[in-house]
Amino acid sequence: MARRAFLGALAGAFLGAAAARAAYVAFTRRPPVGDAETWNRTNHRGEPITLLEGPAFAVGAGVAAAAIPGLPARIRAAVLLTVAGSGGLGAYDDLYGATSSKGFKGHLRALAKGEVTSGTMKFMGIGVTGLAAAALTSRGPVDTVVNGALVAGGANLANLFDLRPGRAIKVGLLTGAPLLAAGLYRNAPVSATLAALPIGAAVALLHEDLGERAMLGDAGANALGALLGLAASVALGRPGRLVVLGTVVALTAASEKISFTKVIAGHPVLNRIDMLGRRPVEQAPIH
């Protein structure tokens, strides 16, 4: 069983990385929607950057999940549903979303005025697909609600960190590593595979993100967080899942009042991790 868990993790990481990288190369040549200009944005430096990294992550993770041998049918379906819901709705918000309303409060205020924003549609859609994915992997209605909240909450929280190069991916790696270790320690092939898949896909795109040529955007960050939430829902017992969910809720609530960027910049250790691999302000882009 230990060998199966290790091989499952290896397959998840390798296939996730290979599929995400292949998708990114393909999308930079021929974007999934529109042309390359459609996906271009301006980053925090005022420089052009592409959002194609996000669809590449989501599609790569989905292709890898479909190809990984040994996953139970329900788990495979849950991964595909999670990626399609979070990645697809995130891509819609990337391309057509308005920036006038931000955060839960902003979207709720808009909804109170009768305006259904793309962000509101995304929150609701990811919530529904998260519950549907959780229903495929859970035992009973209580677990379904908790696990669905983990998927949806993880998707939203990861997106809140996608404000600087590599930050969302680093947070994803730091979150996914304990889940992967738990799966390997418990000799649980499915848990190890589910944790390794988004880790592999994220690592394959990290160089583009740190080089400030591309960013995850809503499509990639939502898919990364949602997949980690799904992995947590499978790997952890109910007490552990409730602790993780409480942390997700607390951080999401805190984001309405404080700036994660300011907190990270003001903490030496967090700032060192955040700047690892990034270029200084005065440095030219990495090629």
Of 253 and 99, the structure prediction assigns the larger pLDDT to 253
159: helix, strand or coil? helix
Which 3-state string (H, E, C) describes 179-211?
A: HHHHHHHCCCHHHHHHHHHHHHHHHHHHHHHHC
Q: How high is the pLDDT of residue 114?
A: 57
Q: Return the structure tokens found at 205.
A: 């795109």
Q: How many CB atoms lie under 10 A from the CB of residue 38?
A: 14
Asked if residue 1 has pLDDT above 60, the reply is no
pLDDT tens across 44-56, in order?
Answer: 888 899 999 999 9
DSSP state of 161: T
pLDDT tens across 82-108, in order?
Answer: 999 999 999 999 998 765 556 555 555
User: Which residues on neighbouring strands pair with residue 49, listed in sequence order?
Assistant: 41
Conformation bin of residue 97: beta by default, left when phi > 0, alpha when psi is -120 to 50 = beta
Using pLDDT thresholds of 50, 70 and 90, give the confidence band for residue 122: confident
Only one residue has tokens 């041998």, namely 69
Domain boundaries, the chain: 2-275
**pTM for the predicted model, two decimal places:** 0.92
Pinpoint the alpha helices (H) of the chain. 2-29, 53-67, 73-96, 103-112, 118-137, 141-160, 167-185, 189-210, 217-235, 238-255, 260-265, 268-275
Using pLDDT thresholds of 50, 70 and 90, give the confidence band for residue 115: low
Asked if residue 113 has pLDDT above 90, the reply is no
Q: How high is the pLDDT of residue 285?
A: 52
CB-count burial class (<10 Å; 0-12, 13-18, 19+) for 46: exposed
Q: How far apart are the C-alpha atoms of 229 and 154, rounded to whole Å?
A: 5
pLDDT tens across 168-217, in order?
Answer: 999 999 999 999 999 999 999 999 999 999 999 999 999 999 999 999 99
